[in-house]
Structure 1
Amino acid sequence: MAALPKRIIKETQRLVSDPVPGITATPSEENLRYFQVTIDGPSSSPYAKGRFDLELFLPDDYPMCAPKVRFLTKIYHPNIDKLGRICLDVLKDNWSPALQIRTILLSIQALLGAPNPDDPLANDVAVDWKSDEAKAIATAKEWTEKYAVPSTDSS
């Protein structure tokens, strides 16, 4: 396996030494380009109290191209589809090598706090969101409790 670029090593060290509140990103021991990520839902959002698992992978041409990020936890959100793919400009057309893993994760956390049904990836969810926002938010809360709330069962 090729040595990791200095940039990835630096970013990884910063994620560990200076973590972002509500976000953890841990590199896999088998592949240092693969991160297990958790993002806590923003407190003022339907995803509050939820802890979402994601995977983040840095392709060989990172930072010239965006990391691949996807939700592993089921989520009801107009910009995240059933496969966990995320519709976010900085992961696509607005990617810039100046961005870092932490800025991407912060953008994803912000997206949880501000769903955008006008630029959907999950069209059915976006339609629900636009036709009955209160019901869509209730469904998002329900899914968060069902799939994203860490179990407090200590057995």
Structure 2
Amino acid sequence: DKNGDVCISILHEPGEDKYGYEKPEERWLPIHTVETIMISVISMLADPNGDSPANVDAAKEWREDRH
């Protein structure tokens, strides 16, 4: 987001998403390891989801720069 925080489902506390965007199994689970978290972060950086940005301004710039 604009504060530099990483917004990724796997790091969100377990349970239901009050906004309904994430499934419970996409959120933090005790079975996650440093490796699974790093794979998720690398995946997010390699293929960001511009349709669900934490930082709307950055997503807009990213979309404009791609075209």
Q: Identity across aligned pairs (percent)? A: 33
Shift of residue 102, structure 1, vs aligned partner:
1.4
Structure 1 counterpart of 2:30, which letter? P
TM-score normalised by L of structure 2: 0.65
Structure 1: gaps spanning 5 or more residues: 1-80, 136-155
Equivalent-residue separation in structure 2 for 1:116 and 1:133 (angstroms): 15
User: Paired residues, what number?
Assistant: 54
1:118 aligned residue? 51
Equivalent-residue separation in structure 1 for 2:61 and 2:4 (angstroms): 18
TM-score normalised by L of structure 1: 0.31
Matches within 5 A, 1:5-154: 81-92=1-12, 94-130=27-63, 132-134=64-66
Shift of residue 82, structure 1, vs aligned partner:
3.6
Query: Whose strand proportion is higher, 1 or 2?
Result: 1
Structure 2 counterpart of 1:134, which letter? R
Query: Whose helix proportion is higher, 1 or 2?
Result: 2
Structure 2: gaps spanning 5 or more residues: 15-26
Q: CA RMSD in A?
A: 1.8
Shift of residue 128, structure 1, vs aligned partner:
2.5
